[in-house]
Structures are given as structure tokens and as C-alpha cells.
Amino acid sequence: MEVIHKDEQSITIRFDKKDLAKIAEPIVRNAESFAKNTLDIVYLLAEQDYRTDDHFEQPPHVFD
């Protein structure tokens, strides 16, 4: 995780793909302990982690 930009009104953070699950999974498992704003951010991180994986599988014999 790297803080790219920070000022009074915003912050920009860069995450490595390998760190997303390490951050998101423990927080989601203990969701009842966290505020809604924290969970909103963590769910976005978890979604991004999922989307960056390659889930496409070519159907067999598609070009036959």
C-alpha cells in the first residue's frame, strides 16, 4: 500500500494486487466490528481484487 496523494479533503492510495485480499478478508470476516464507511471501502477493494483475476474460460469446441 502506498499513499500517492493526501490533502485536507482527499487521499489517494495505491494497493498491490497481492495486498488486497490480505486487507479485505479479515475485515469482512469481522464485519460486525466495523463502521459502514470502513466496510464500504473494503467491499470495493474486495471487488477490485476479484475483477483483476482472470476468470474467463474458453468453452470447449467453440470454434469447431
Expressed as residue numbers, the domain containing 37 is 16-52
Task: Report yes or no on 44 lying in a domain.
Answer: yes
- Rounded CA gap, 7 and 56, in Å? 39
Whether the CB-CB separation of 21 and 48 falls below 8 Å is answered with no
pTM of the model: 0.66
Task: Report yes or no on 3 lying in a domain.
Answer: no
The pLDDT tens digits of the residues spanning 5-59 come to: 999 999 999 988 888 889 999 999 999 999 999 999 999 999 988 888 877 788 8
Triad 49, 20, 35: Cα angle to 5°: 105
Task: Report yes or no on 36 lying in a domain.
Answer: yes
- What are the start-end ranges of the H helices in 1-64? 17-29, 36-52
- Residues 6 or more apart from 49 whose CB is under 8 A from it? 17, 20, 21, 24
Task: Report yes or no on 1 lying in a domain.
Answer: no
Task: Report yes or no on 30 lying in a domain.
Answer: yes
Q: What is the DSSP letter of 58?
A: P
